[in-house]
Structure 1
Amino acid sequence: MIQPSAAPPPFSPFFFYNATFEPQEVMRRHAATGLVPNPQRLTNFLGVLIDPRFFPSLLDNRAGEVEGVPIPANWHADIAEWGAALRAVDLAGDSFTVIELGCGWGCWLNNTGVAARRLGKRPQLIGVEGDKGHLAFARQSTAENGFGSDQVTLHHGIAAARGGVALFPRQHQAGEQWGLEAVFGASAEQRQQAAAAGSHEELPMVALRDLAAPHARIDLLHIDIQGGEATLIEEALPQLQEKVAYIVVGTHSRPIEGRIMDTLHKAGWLLEIERPAILDMHHNGQRVVVDGVQGWRNPALHQPDPRR
């Protein structure tokens, strides 16, 4: 997720991505026409309705607006992430199954689900989220965007390669903080300390293999779990190889980007688009101010793309 910031400048860093396809063409092709403003919601270029209270500091007073195609970026994502997610929709067959790890308000469930539905594909949306308030946002948003209860499965937990117990920070008001980090595989001592302080909620670690088990194929796995991406991909690689056709991952450091590239390249995956994490070099060396993005295609589950 792009962190709160001013509008991108004319020479935006979000134009600096590497890709094997044309993500801007993909975005423009998926843009809905004839959208009608909703006075209580922000409507994006795909026709997805977003309640401004999900992001009060970013979307205040934007109800009733219809956004244009977000090139190079909007308040939430940039060309690389939009292009990668919609690329997965294009490559899917008659159905479209998406799993979003760290789903928040259901951003990529809604965006890719709406895009797939417009193409006549049958969407199935699966999300995992640690913040119960954000999970309520996801329930609300998927319903408001026309997905029935039989099309949506949401889990209150922490996505991981295997089961266990994790601790997740509590916040008083959903939407105030995004990007909270879980403590994976919490020890008994950590769990006792968190319970005494009331600072964290104890949640199950939801294994990727269990999420994928009911489905023959996952057309898109979107991963944004605040620093645990490389470990999950390394540990869940057998499940990814077998069932996941496309991965879009938010990367939270340059070392994470390198680890993912090493793991998936060695396993035969194709990196189709990437924009590295954007750094601020003026705070004790460097810090990530915007997550990176990588889009990976599993050639074992795709026929050759005739458009390439």
Structure 2
Amino acid sequence: MRWSPSRGIKRAAAYEQGGSPVAVEFGNGLHVPIYPESVVPILQKVRALTKPPHDGIFRVDWAGIRTRIAMLPWAPQELAGTTTDRLPVPTDGYRSEAEEYVGLALSLHNERDSYRVVEVGAGWAPWVVMGVALAQRAGKTATGIAVEVDEMRAGWAMQHAADNALESRRVTGNSTQIREQLLENAGNITVVQAACWYEETVLKFPKLTDDDMGGAVSTDKNAHMDYRGAFFDHIEVPTVTLETLLAGDEPTDLLHIDLQGRELDVILPNLELIAQKVRFLAVGTHNRYVEGMLQEHLLKREWALLMESPCTAVFDGVKPTLTGFTTQDGNQLYANSRFRDADPIVIRQR
């Protein structure tokens, strides 16, 4: 169920637009944070009763999701051909930390018979594939969009979907062609080979090695150095906007954004769109400035920050950006107070 903007949201907007100064309130009274003791009960709700075979090449996790380990050069290769019942607390050792799994699990709880997930900066689309697979298991009609700019990694996303018995299609072309193709009916998962940006344009993206998941777009038409200070050849890539990705009447249950430090370029111009369309927002963070700006802009629009793990950095030497110093990505998970159909575990009992 979707609710209209609250007085708090309107006050914050008026203040930013030069209205009379008012006391801006942060956060909301609807949701409660995820405390450590709640993590396991949330994750247990999506535990698989039966698991698919590992076939000697997959890691099958507690939720029954198969991951082709050889496709992920950084993953411990001894995980191939194994099945685990262990929850990913604090981490699973190859995909992510508990915070992102909690966000996925919470997003599956809604009052509809459908589910929708969008993953931006998707890599091999772990969250789209897991979300669609688990929603289907729960009897819902599920769709997902994975946006990945790199051709090889977009192929990984297609493979990961197939490995979990999900249909997928790849959408390519310029920005206009991509937008038009996304209007067409699709199967379970659509992999968009493009960069997510605040406008339809052409950006630059580095040619990466297989094991480098740290690529980020550049607006420099003559780009030769990335945000870490590393030199790469760059290619032109098309963009797709959140307006296109979130189009339609159905809410997006989970929007997952991981853009190697460019998160604010996509989120801040689309704050109202995201507030209208997205139930849960998970952001991979890559510097403290991004983390603080997200808190500043989202909390005063009555989002709740349910969980976070700040990124870590070592400020050694000289880098062209703050993100270049980051050694471990962070995570932030937000819940939207405009949607009241959340899991009771994150709703304040009155």
- TM-score normalised per structure 2: 0.74
2:91 aligned partner, one-letter code: A
> 1:128 Cα shift?
0.7
1:301 aligned partner, one-letter code: F
Question: Residue 135 of structure 1 corresponds to which residue in structure 2?
Answer: 154
Question: Residue 223 of structure 1 corresponds to which residue in structure 2?
Answer: 257
Question: Residue 295 of structure 2 corresponds to which residue in structure 1?
Answer: 261
| Alignment pair present for 1:178 and 2:213 | yes
| Alignment pair present for 1:76 and 2:95 | yes
> 1:32 Cα shift?
1.3
Distance in 1 of aligned mates of 2:342 and 2:95: 31
Counterparts of 1:182-193 in structure 2, within 5 Å, are 182-184=217-219, 186-187=220-221, 189-190=222-223
Question: Residue 237 of structure 1 corresponds to which residue in structure 2?
Answer: 271
> 1:216 Cα shift?
2.3
User: Is this contact kept in 1: 2:280–2:334, CA < 8 A?
Assistant: yes
Correspondence for 2:78 among 42, 61, 72: 61
User: Is this contact kept in 2: 1:19–1:274, CA < 8 A?
Assistant: no
Question: Residue 283 of structure 2 corresponds to which residue in structure 1?
Answer: 249
> 1:295 Cα shift?
0.9
User: Is this contact kept in 2: 1:23–1:84, CA < 8 A?
Assistant: no
Evaluate the alpha carbon distance shift between residue 241 and residue 49 of structure 1 in structure 2; reply closer, same or farther with a 3 A threshold.
same
Question: Residue 179 of structure 2 corresponds to which residue in structure 1?
Answer: none
RMSD (Å), alpha carbons? 2.4
Distance in 1 of aligned mates of 2:282 and 2:247: 20
Aligned residues: 281
| Alignment pair present for 1:19 and 2:34 | yes
| Alignment pair present for 1:202 and 2:236 | yes
Distance in 2 of aligned mates of 1:215 and 1:132: 30
Distance in 2 of aligned mates of 1:123 and 1:292: 28
Correspondence for 1:152 among 183, 189, 193: 189
Runs of 4+ residues deviating >4 angstroms: none
User: Is this contact kept in 1: 2:110–2:342, CA < 8 A?
Assistant: no
- Most deviating of 85-94 and 298-307: 298-307
Distance in 2 of aligned mates of 1:154 and 1:260: 27
User: Is this contact kept in 2: 1:250–1:293, CA < 8 A?
Assistant: yes
| Residue ranges of structure 2 left out of the alignment (5+ in a row) | 1-32, 169-186, 225-230
2:90 aligned partner, one-letter code: P
Tell which structure's C-alpha radius of gyration is larger: 2
Question: Residue 45 of structure 1 corresponds to which residue in structure 2?
Answer: 62
> 1:115 Cα shift?
2.0
Q: Percent identity?
A: 26
- Three-state SS of the structure 2 residue aligned to 1:236 is helix
- Three-state SS of the structure 2 residue aligned to 1:261 is helix
| Alignment pair present for 1:164 and 2:201 | yes
Deviations 1:201-234 (A, max 9, x none): 2111111101111452111100001101123211
- Three-state SS of the structure 2 residue aligned to 1:167 is strand
1:170 aligned partner, one-letter code: K
Evaluate the alpha carbon distance shift between residue 296 and residue 263 of structure 1 in structure 2; reply closer, same or farther with a 3 A threshold.
same
Evaluate the alpha carbon distance shift between residue 267 and residue 208 of structure 1 in structure 2; reply closer, same or farther with a 3 A threshold.
same
Evaluate the alpha carbon distance shift between residue 51 and residue 203 of structure 1 in structure 2; reply closer, same or farther with a 3 A threshold.
same
User: Is this contact kept in 1: 2:54–2:66, CA < 8 A?
Assistant: no
| Residue ranges of structure 1 left out of the alignment (5+ in a row) | 1-17, 192-196
1:31 aligned partner, one-letter code: R
